């Protein structure tokens, strides 16, 4: 008996020891180029903000790197036959970091807050959405019309503690001022310190509902380092473990040739476009179509960008739902471009102004120069204006007056969710003209009708066919030149595992990240 007790004690001690070993240790050090706008996920969901928000906050479901929807705070869900009701069963073992319970009431409060603020966090939610509490752990969403990407959009609504929000509410602001820098959610990491434009520190949440049983970092330090070369040097010197936004081919080669590092291409939903404002010569769709045939797409991606991207078929990335491999790939055909310009009455050529923001997006520099060179061959004189200020650039391309800003501009577009419904295809819906995202002032009745219909179509096959048809319309009446999708790399030391970016360009989950050797 005594021997049995001895062994039992030994086993128990061993278990305690194992648990102790499994506690998060070490620090994951990250270099990022831009800081988060706010910690409040209902106010802003820009990729840099999401990077911070994914520490303290979680969503009902999550879209993983394959584009599939997986359970997060909701264990399971059912969709009614008419696709108007979505019923979610919530996890029972979740609490917010302030100790308040996570339940159906909390979910309803979050949707009320998100839609009540009506800011960036609510941008993908369908109009007329009603949230009904069925019981403590069951919540039902009732839609006014079928909305196919609804499940994907739920990955953008993060759960904030209603107790925290209510107790810090000032003048009906839903606690916005306080939550701007004081996140309270259910997530794996808590925001420990935030020195704006310098760094923020996320420390592990000891009461996290998933528990801690792997080689998770105890703290995550994200430093804001604007210069790409400095980020690279920090990584090479071992001062950081992960560097975001390393895009130069030479820098990537340096890392790829060093066995201590890895540069992992991410499944990118981003597509690089040359967008055209529907004014002057671009009011004629033949001129816009001519622009499609100017770029030598394959040599741009193969030679200029050294294979770090590829041409797309149609207008969206292969990483997101709706990509159609039967659509034609972008290709150069200068004689076709010349013929279209002649047909449109531009036999003596035309001049256009092309805006770039190379400080934000270095790839546009070689792109715009190549485009200018090739366009000159068909009599199109391109004047490149590289804008230094983000505000000037965005102010010009999103101006509410179609006659303001450039004729053409280069921009990369992320879908935001795993569907082209919001962007890029949603950008060209005629009702989204500035201050919306249709900076082109694009308008096509047939396209609009399909866009509305696709949003209401639950059947994925039928919806994919509509997205395909919409892209065929765009090929004949293009608002932009889809240059292709470029690879986004996550650069890190070999000791970092489990870090991945979603198709929207932000991190999927900090919890999955582990550090070897800690």
CB of 156 to other proteins, least distance (A): 11
Choose, by CB under 8 A, the member of 22, 37, 142, 402 that binds other proteins.
37
Tell me how crowded residue 59 is: count the other CB atoms within 10 A of its CB: 23
Residues 424-443, one symbol each (x = binds other proteins by CB under 8 A, - = not), give: ----------xxxx------
> Please, which residues have CB within 8 angstroms of residue 503's CB and are 6 or more apart in sequence?
63, 67, 267, 268, 269, 317, 319, 320, 414, 415, 418
Of 32 and 514, which has the nearer Cβ to other proteins?
A: 32
Of 330 and 455, which has the nearer Cβ to other proteins?
A: 455
Separation between Cα atoms, residue 406 and residue 355, nearest integer Å: 6
Q: Pick the closest to residue 158 from 125, 121, 208, 120 (CA basis).
A: 121
Is the alpha carbon torsion for 295, 229, 509, 50 positive or negative? negative
The answer to the question of residue 211 lying near other proteins (CB under 8 A) is: no
The answer to the question of residue 447 lying near other proteins (CB under 8 A) is: no
Residue entry with tokens 């070897």? 516
Separation between Cα atoms, residue 408 and residue 396, nearest integer Å: 11
CB 43 within 8 A of CB 183: no
Residues 158-187, one symbol each (x = binds other proteins by CB under 8 A, - = not), give: ----------------------x-------
The answer to the question of residue 197 lying near other proteins (CB under 8 A) is: yes
H helical segments located in 344-444: 364-376, 390-397
- Asked if the peptide bond before residue 435 counts as cis, ω within 30 degrees of 0, the response is yes
Of 322 and 406, which has the nearer Cβ to other proteins?
A: 406
Measured N-to-C along each axis, helices 460-476 and 285-292 cross at an angle, to the nearest 10 degrees, of 100
Of 2 and 172, which has the nearer Cβ to other proteins?
A: 172
Residues 339-358, one symbol each (x = binds other proteins by CB under 8 A, - = not), give: --------------------
User: What secondary structure letter does DSSP report for 281?
Assistant: G
The answer to the question of residue 383 lying near other proteins (CB under 8 A) is: no
The answer to the question of residue 63 lying near other proteins (CB under 8 A) is: no
CB of 42 to other proteins, least distance (A): 10
The answer to the question of residue 324 lying near other proteins (CB under 8 A) is: no
Choose, by CB under 8 A, the member of 221, 274, 312, 488 that binds other proteins.
221
CB of 180 to other proteins, least distance (A): 7
H helical segments located in 221-359: 228-236, 249-256, 285-292, 297-299, 334-343
CB of 178 to other proteins, least distance (A): 12
Secondary structure of 28-89 as H, E, C letters: EEEEECCCCCCCCCCCCCCHHHHHHHCCCCCECEEECCCCCEEECCEEEEEECCCCCEEEEE
Number of residues that bind other proteins (CB under 8 A): 57
Choose, by CB under 8 A, the member of 120, 374, 407, 440 that binds other proteins.
120
Residue entry with tokens 């434009």? 197
The answer to the question of residue 27 lying near other proteins (CB under 8 A) is: yes
Choose, by CB under 8 A, the member of 28, 30, 43, 247 that binds other proteins.
43
CB of 286 to other proteins, least distance (A): 30
The DSSP bridge partners found for residue 276 are: 408
The answer to the question of residue 128 lying near other proteins (CB under 8 A) is: no
Choose, by CB under 8 A, the member of 91, 108, 158, 223 that binds other proteins.
223
The answer to the question of residue 500 lying near other proteins (CB under 8 A) is: no
Of 73 and 423, which has the nearer Cβ to other proteins?
A: 423
Separation between Cα atoms, residue 266 and residue 245, nearest integer Å: 11
Pairing assessment for the beta strands 219-224 and 27-32 based on DSSP bridges: parallel
Torsion of CA 501, 507, 512, 518, to 10 degrees: 100
Choose, by CB under 8 A, the member of 65, 239, 469, 477 that binds other proteins.
239
Tokens representing 318 are: 């292969």
Stretch that binds other proteins, among 43-51, 65-73, 278-286, 508-516 (CB under 8 A): 43-51
Stretch that binds other proteins, among 38-46, 81-89, 310-318, 468-476 (CB under 8 A): 38-46
Contacts with other proteins by CB under 8 A lie at: 27, 31, 37-38, 43-49, 118-120, 122-123, 180, 195-199, 201, 221, 223-227, 229-230, 233-234, 236-237, 239, 359, 388-396, 398-399, 404, 411, 414, 416, 423, 434-437
């Amino acid at each position: 008996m005594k021997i049995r007790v001895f062994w039992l004690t030994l086993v128990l001690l061993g278990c305690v020891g194992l648990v102790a070993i499994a506690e998060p240790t070490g620090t994951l050090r990250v270099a990022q180029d831009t800081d988060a706008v706010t910690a409040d996920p209902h106010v802003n969901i820009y990729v840099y903000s999401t990077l911070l928000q994914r520490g303290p906050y979680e969503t009902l479901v999550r879209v993983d790197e394959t584009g599939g929807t997986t359970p997060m705070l909701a264990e399971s869900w059912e969709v009614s036959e008419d696709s108007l009701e979505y019923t979610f069963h919530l996890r029972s073992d979740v609490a917010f970091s302030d100790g308040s319970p996570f339940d159906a009431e909390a979910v309803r409060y979050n949707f009320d807050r998100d839609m009540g603020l009506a800011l960036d966090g609510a941008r993908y939610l369908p109009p007329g959405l009603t949230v009904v509490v069925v019981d403590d752990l069951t919540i039902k969403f009732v839609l006014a019309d079928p909305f196919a990407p609804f499940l994907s959009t739920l990955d953008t609504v993060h759960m904030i503690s209603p107790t925290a929000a209510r107790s810090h509410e000032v003048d009906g602001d839903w606690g916005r001022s306080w939550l701007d820098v004081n996140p309270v959610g259910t997530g794996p990491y808590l925001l420990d310190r935030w020195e704006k434009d310098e760094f923020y520190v996320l420390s592990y949440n000891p009461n996290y509902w998933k528990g801690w049983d792997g080689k998770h970092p105890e703290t995550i330090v994200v430093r804001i380092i604007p210069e790409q070369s400095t980020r690279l040097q920090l990584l090479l010197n071992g001062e950081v473990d992960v560097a975001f936004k390393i895009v130069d081919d030479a820098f990537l080669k340096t890392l790829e040739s060093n066995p201590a590092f890895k540069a992992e291409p991410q499944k990118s939903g981003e597509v690089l476009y040359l967008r055209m404002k529907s004014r002057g010569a671009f009011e004629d769709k033949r001129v816009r179509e001519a622009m499609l045939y100017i770029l030598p797409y394959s040599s741009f991606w193969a030679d200029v960008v050294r294979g770090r991207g590829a041409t797309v078929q149609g207008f969206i990335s292969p990483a997101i739902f709706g990509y159609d491999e039967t659509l034609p790939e972008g290709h150069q055909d200068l004689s076709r471009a010349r013929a279209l310009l002649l047909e449109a009455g531009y036999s003596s050529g035309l001049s256009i102004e092309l805006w770039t923001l190379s400080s934000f997006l270095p790839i546009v520099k070689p792109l715009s120069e190549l485009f200018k060179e090739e366009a000159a061959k068909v009599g199109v004189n391109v004047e490149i204006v590289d804008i230094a200020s983000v505000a000037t650039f965005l102010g010009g391309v999103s101006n509410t007056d179609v006659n303001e800003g450039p004729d053409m501009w280069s921009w990369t577009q992320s879908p935001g969710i795993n569907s082209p419904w919001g962007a890029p295809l949603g950008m060209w819906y005629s009702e989204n003209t500035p201050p919306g995202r249709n900076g082109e002032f694009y308008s096509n009745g047939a396209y609009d009708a399909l866009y509305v219909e696709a949003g209401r179509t639950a059947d994925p096959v039928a919806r994919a066919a509509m997205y395909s048809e919409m892209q065929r319309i765009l090929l004949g009446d293009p608002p932009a030149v889809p240059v292709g999708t470029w690879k986004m790399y996550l650069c890190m030391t070999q000791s970092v595992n489990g870090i991945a970016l979603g198709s929207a360009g932000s991190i999927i989950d900090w919890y999955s990240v582990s550090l070897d050797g800690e």
